Amino acid sequence: MLGKKIENAINKQINAEFWSAYLYLSMSAYFESINLGGFASWMRVQAQEEVGHAMRFYNHVVERRGRVTVSAITAPSINWKSPLSAFEDAFKHEQKVTGMIDNLVTMATAEKDYATANMLQWFIDEQVEEELSTNTVVQKLKMIGTNTGGLYMLDCELSQRKVK
C-alpha cells in the first residue's frame, strides 16, 4: 500500500506532468504562430509524452491502492521572444522536473517505499533523455543564430520526431 506522504507527493507530480504538457502545447501554438511547423510538431510530441508521464504516475498510485486527486493547472506562458528563448525555457523546465524526480526518489528511499523508488528509475533515465533532447536543440539554435536557412533546416529536422 502506498503511504500518504508518497501519495501526496506523486499527486503533485501528476499535476506537474500535466502542467508540462500544457507548457509544451503552448510552445507548439507559439511555433505555429510564427510558421515553424516542425518546431510546433516537436512540441506537440513532447506534450503527448508528458501526458504519458502523468499517466505512469497515475497508474502507480492506483496499482498501490492509493487515491489519485487532480488539481487545477495554471496557465503557462504563451509568448517567447524567439525559438531559442522557447527552447531555453524548455531546457530549464526539464532541469526543474529532474529535481522534482530526484526529490521523489529521496522521499521514497527515506520512506522505504522500494516499489516507488524502483518505478522512479524509469523517470530518472527519462529525464536524462529529456534534458539531452532539449539542450541539443538549444545548442543547434545557438549555432544557427540569425541564419534563416539554418532555421528552416532545423524546422524540417524537428518535424521528423514521432511519438515513442
Query: Out of 1.20.1260.10, 1.10.357.10, 3.30.2010.20, 3.40.50.300, which CATH number does the structure's domain 4-158 have?
Result: 1.20.1260.10
CA distance 96 to 102: 10
**Nearest Cα to 9, choosing from 47, 53, 51, 61?**
61
The pLDDT of residue 42: 98
pTM of the full structure = 0.95
22-47 pLDDT, tens digit per residue, is 999 999 999 999 999 999 999 999 99
Place of cell 522521499: 107
The pLDDT of residue 162: 86
100-142 pLDDT, tens digit per residue, is 999 999 999 999 999 999 999 999 999 999 999 999 999 999 9
90-102 pLDDT, tens digit per residue, is 999 999 999 999 9
